Structure 1
């Protein structure tokens, strides 16, 4: 969850973690009940990561990167689409054919999103921000991930100030539900 370093190092480490979850998920045979546990783990990571980016990374992109507004809007829209797929997956059993279709969509969409961030957004931000600002953003992202929700909430606000106000409370409720159900302990 928290890896250390500037915002780019922090988020790149998250990206590698998500890719590892995807590899584990895809290595399990269709219908295997363990796929739900791995999906829960990747969902927790993706939601926390997305919320933190929406709270701090994308506002910084808007502020510092020339033409950053449309770029941030595009990334937020992609997050919304992924969050809807995660929400749809919550109600599909692992032995339903729809599960595999949705998982493949999730993997494809997220992989493309990560590639775009790493090849376009991160270099642009690194060029536009001082090393001190990048470290500050890394600290903000790490703090945000600690209190962020762990379940998809597609109708929740995805830009400040709404997300900064609501995410910690929603995150508290999600973590309480996870504790009670044992979700995310695989």
Structure 2
């Protein structure tokens, strides 16, 4: 049975730039943030830590679904589909729970129960990835490719959506196309603290998507010329 990446050295994972090492660092930070949230009393600091956790979890998962899981499905064989489907289902459950959390007010008992459930799901997802999926990827590709994947994964993570969006599919090419404008919107909201109504979000999303698709069409036409 492949060895979990949790117990391996950074060198065994392919170096600090390897996607395996990058994934493990993110997972450790998620654990730290969730523990920090639990240790804090209700208040602004606790809400800030929850926001940081959500931002990290969603950008991390989007980069996995865009960059890593297609490689797993191509490289691992028959098991690749089952392994990635398992974590994609966990991601969808996390998406749905966090969407509910963001609609509820701090201090609401229902909200706190959903936070407890989503933290449990995140920790289960971490174990499934580190114990099952990523060791199989490690067996299938060499260290140089793991480092290349790490660079691509990090680039996508830095521009990925940071909040739940029901319109974003779990697999390419749909997630890549829709994720760009939503990532721009989410990061503006995170930085500026925007509290925009749903109708306005829809208008922003539609406009950004239109701009993205128009740019893609123009690029194709220029290439043909």
**Cα separation, 1, equivalents of 2:30 and 2:23:** 10
Give the C-alpha shift of residue 161 in structure 1. Answer: 0.5
**Cα separation, 2, equivalents of 1:51 and 1:18:** 15
The structure that has the greater radius of gyration is 2
Q: Write out aligned runs for 1:1-186 (5 A).
A: 5-29=17-41, 31-66=42-77, 67-181=79-193
Query: Displaced runs of 4+ in structure 1, greater than 2 A?
Result: 31-35
1:64-117 superposed Cα distances (whole Å, 9 cap, x missing partner): 112101111111111010011111110112211112201110111110110111
Unaligned runs of 5+ in 1: none
Query: What is the TM-score with the length of structure 2 in the denominator?
Result: 0.76
Unaligned runs of 5+ in 2: 1-15, 196-225
User: Is the Cα contact below 8 Å between 2:95 and 2:164 reproduced in 1?
Assistant: yes
Give the C-alpha shift of residue 155 in structure 1. Answer: 2.7
Secondary structure, in 3 states, of the residue corresponding to 1:156? Answer: coil
Give the C-alpha shift of residue 174 in structure 1. Answer: 1.0
Query: What is the TM-score with the length of structure 1 in the denominator?
Result: 0.91
Matched length:
179
Q: Which has the higher contact order (CA 8 A, sep 6+)?
A: 1
User: Is the Cα contact below 8 Å between 2:96 and 2:164 reproduced in 1?
Assistant: yes
